[in-house]
Structure 1
């Protein structure tokens, strides 16, 4: 199951869980080794760009300057048309059908966070514009029906690049219109209102709440992107969707103005009912905690100004972090957990150290190592220099005395 290899592959995991959409197209690559500069040691085929982008975003927020090789690997994955695939081997030509909106969206956010990569960011945004569906949404791979996760991530990237999603449109349908396609409104049962479905049911168009779709789309609905600053605080809990009694109002889509609060209220209720975490429900399998969905829910609530409602989820993720991150060896999970801790203003030192250890030595660490060695070299060099000068003086003095004695013995010298 690809969700095990790629915890953040939103569209793919949701497609597998719901069984209503085909999985994304993926290049037939089996890299023998993990490339230099890439964070994590696992096979990057399905999550290379995803985990690298999250790692660089989290480290940039931690004021860690990553190695050139780490940044160069990510920029080197970008295709000429501006999009990113999940992963491609070095030297392999880009195939447009393997480029995906999820990888492109998180790569754009990472490069914005790092700074100094405006051309690559602009090309990435242009790719998102080009590959927006006519209904305003985005699919994982271009040419497929849109989904909430991919649309939410694209909107995150637009916000990060300071591009108004309301102005990014196809056939008169904006990115916000596309996001609204997947949100349950007043026609849904009260306890489902505000949630996001992955995609409408192909048979009848019904929307079924999905934990990961709700968590990831909520950050976009709240006007956010990675990294989440967590600087806005509201005293009240998120406002549940206010619904009128007439049928026309009930059938209307959730407006962008109400979207963030509505999904925030839904997520708050789900976290409270689930013991501070969201649950992964797979047909035929027992429900299990959904770490990724819980993390995105915490980020979204914090972004919307509701850190108190996110606090329980942050505590739960902190407690369960070693299990989720596999002891700090899973780069994508470790980076996501670090982003959550940063947004919640928790202690991040240990997570930063774990993530840093999963990739090439950062520039700051290299500079610090050089700085600690420099005084020793200078000191040794200074001692050597003075020693040579001293020996030279002794030799000179001794030679002068010998020459003086010889001249006394032989006046003709």
Structure 2
């Protein structure tokens, strides 16, 4: 009679092998399942849209229909396009990467600002009929050792008008600031460049139907350093606009407002006017280089745009970024929510564990917010903002905005 021991061993061996196979199959299925946290490839945590707190904010995708009250409104389309051809100050001076001030221009009257183009220049813009334009200002964020680059680009109807405006800009700058002296810029003998103290300079130069405006500052009087910084800004600006061609004004209204369906996925303005900003001139679609002017951490964000395949950005009440895939979206979210030394991370909104929120120490100079949340859904990353009251800094409304923005993305498919 055969002993049962070999059969038992064979049975146990087969059972062990079967158990191992079951474990392997289970792990394989688990690794492929979407929405499971803790794996090398990130997945979205499942969200129940019916329980999201969205308050009074619209939680459905909506078509974007810009309002054109007058000719200056539709010129903003050209200004937003020109932003993609404006030199980045941190490319001129790597130290100048603090949060920026951006202004879009559609007439001589609105082209000036307390931090940028002086208001005395407005009549010249009106006289020569500036059609569109943009400028950006960044500093090194150091009040004791200030460095600054302001770059501006204005479009005029003709080359003659641009040359006339540049000449007048240079003349009025010297007339209203006695004691200024010319500043020599290598390679740019036709530039109207001057300084009053060899620590700060302005320059104006016509290029086709455009006028390039530059304002620079170095920490201490240094004519050579100031001339070099100013001339380098012009050099890089000319290179940036090498392929820039003015869009005929009659064609602007024929351009699709939302050709890729991005604006419909971005949160619209709040019906109760509770958005922290009032100016909606920046609403529209942008290429990544143009949007970069608005970003808090421009160098890191530019690298993220490149690495994560960001090909378009839509700015509405919510700011929407389109990436390569879900993994890229999570990486971009991490970059957008990088905190400074005095910023604070907030808890995620109820029901949105994948969202990330930040309370800023300094208010954003373009949209006047000091808190924001970034949500992810597939290829899309979206940011919503709010200004928290000092007396009662609760993020309830911010969380409701984030919930509404997530719901919009989920319902946009």
- The TM-score range, normalised by the shorter chain, is under 0.3
Give the structure with the larger strand fraction: 2
TM-score normalized by structure 2? Answer: 0.25
Please tell me whether Structure 1 or Structure 2 has the larger radius of gyration of its CA atoms: 1
Choose between structure 1 and 2: higher helix proportion. 1
